[in-house]
Amino acid sequence: HGRDGYSVEMITLESEGGSIIPLLVFVPKAEGRHRTLLYLHPQGKLAEAAPGREIERFVRRGFVVAAPDLSGTGELGHVSSDVAFLAEQVGRSVVGIRAAEITRVARYLQTRGDVDANAIYGSGREGAAIALLHAAAFDPSLRGIALLHPLVGYRSVVESRQYKLDAADLVANVLTAYDLPDLAATFVPRPLLIVEPR
């Protein structure tokens, strides 16, 4: 699918258990290997994909941009509280499943001839930032990440009388082991940008 100065590819990747990750890849017309941004939005791949929106601004700066639908976003529906609780009952979390999907997309990007495998970055907004932080802590291929309006930490939730947090963004018993700032600390010395935590 061609646009002015770049193209858009529609791809499906297979993740663990045979689940599918729908993916849009925006590629500048210029030849060669490009810096690449893994762009994660809680509403999915189409949230900023239209001409003139945020993804296009990155492509015009020379980035390949990969925008997936992670489990429970975009084409892949919504994660209800019941489904999130069921995941915990079988020893999983939606956060962990999404982190694995992010790693799968990063592995795919490394195989592309138009991607500089040494310059893959991640950007996650709101709940997507939680999954990105989990993935990046264990995936050295992500050379830098930006977290936009992320949760400051799970401790802030349990210490607040009122809070608003999607059930899909919870990890059972997380504070018995770590919190989000602990994961952020493991990212050193790679660059980490946190914008307006909540």
Mean pLDDT of 119-128: 97
Residues of the chain with pLDDT > 70: what percent? 100
Give me Rg for the CA atoms of the chain: 17
Could you write out the DSSP letters of every residue in 120-163? Answer: EEEEEETHHHHHHHHHHHH-TTEEEEEEES----HHHHHT-SS-
pLDDT band at 159 (very low <50, low <70, confident <90, very high): very high
Torsions phi, psi for 3 (to 5 deg): -130, 175
Give the C-alpha separation, 175 to 12, whole Å: 35
pLDDT at site 38: 98
pLDDT tens digits, 86-115: 777 777 899 999 999 999 999 999 999 999
pLDDT at site 164: 84
pLDDT at site 83: 78
Quick one: the chain helix, strand, coil %, rounded to 5? 35, 25, 40
C-alpha angle 93/97/100, rounded to 5°?
140
Of 63, 72, 68, 77, which Cα lies nearest the Cα of 29?
A: 63
This prediction has a pTM of: 0.94
pLDDT at site 17: 77
| pLDDT higher than threshold 90 for residue 3 | no
pLDDT band at 118 (very low <50, low <70, confident <90, very high): very high
pLDDT band at 2 (very low <50, low <70, confident <90, very high): confident
pLDDT tens digits, 124-156: 999 999 999 999 999 999 999 999 999 999 999
Q: Which tokens is 106 given? A: 């990063």
Between 15-19, 43-47, 60-64, 190-194, the lowest mean confidence (pLDDT) is in: 15-19
pLDDT at site 188: 87
